[in-house]
Structure 1
Amino acid sequence: MNFLRTIMWVILAVGVAIFATANWHDVMLDLWGDLRMAIKLPVLLGITFAIGFLPTLFYYRAKIWQLRRQLALADRNAKMAPQTPPPPPVAASTTKETESPF
């Protein structure tokens, strides 16, 4: 499985490299007023991808961290809780049950 994962990452990296070399030209950004900025298109796409991806990644990692802490606390509390003995067995009934036609 590691081999397949490596192959997929290599294919993705080659695809990104081909896209970057085919689109390596300047893009003018109008920031505000008369301020303009020239940036390469693949760099601009990488920055916009990071702006969208990183907050989601941080939220996901924080949520996983919180859930792991809660699970560790629950495990710790379960280990420290006193063990309750099982309930005593129920004695057999001494009264006879009436026979039912059903």
Structure 2
Amino acid sequence: MRFLRYLFLFLAAFVAALFTYGNWTRVGINLWSGLVADVNLPFLLLVTFLAGFMPMWIYHLTARWRLRQRLQTTERTVEALRVSLPASEPVVVPAAADVAALP
């Protein structure tokens, strides 16, 4: 399975390299006060991808952290309840043969 992951990553990097090679052109971006920034197209696409990806990734990390904290709190509560409950005697259920022998 790890081989397939590395194969996919290699193919994605290869496609990205081909895209970068084929689209290495300058793009003018109009900024404030009449400033124009000339940026390579692959760099511009990378920046816009990261601008959209990073907020969702940060949200995902915080949600995972919050759920992990809730799970740890729940596990501590369950462990505390296990320790505080007195040990009860095991319940013995009669077997089917014993039930048939009862009057």
Q: Report deviation, 1:65.
A: 0.3
1:59 counterpart residue number: 59
Query: Which of residues 83, 86, 89 is equivalent to 2:85?
Result: 83
* CA–CA separation in structure 1 for the residues paired with 2:19 and 2:69: 42
> Per-residue displacement from partner, 1:8-47 (whole Å, max 9, x unpaired)?
0000000000000100010000011211100000000000
* CA–CA separation in structure 1 for the residues paired with 2:39 and 2:54: 21
Identity of aligned residues (%): 32
Q: Report deviation, 1:84.
A: 5.7
* CA–CA separation in structure 1 for the residues paired with 2:41 and 2:86: 66
For the residue of structure 1 that corresponds to 2:21, the secondary structure is helix
For the residue of structure 2 that corresponds to 1:39, the secondary structure is strand
Query: Where does the alignment leave 5 or more consecutive residues of structure 2 unmatched?
Result: 92-103
Normalised by the length of structure 2, the TM-score is: 0.80
How many aligned residue pairs are there? Answer: 88
* CA–CA separation in structure 2 for the residues paired with 1:65 and 1:84: 34
* CA–CA separation in structure 2 for the residues paired with 1:53 and 1:31: 23
Structure 1 or 2: larger helix share? 2
Q: Report deviation, 1:85.
A: 5.7
Q: Give 4+ residue runs of structure 1 displaced > 6 Å after superposition.
A: none
For the residue of structure 2 that corresponds to 1:24, the secondary structure is coil
1:14 counterpart residue number: 14
2:100 counterpart residue number: none
* CA–CA separation in structure 1 for the residues paired with 2:66 and 2:55: 16
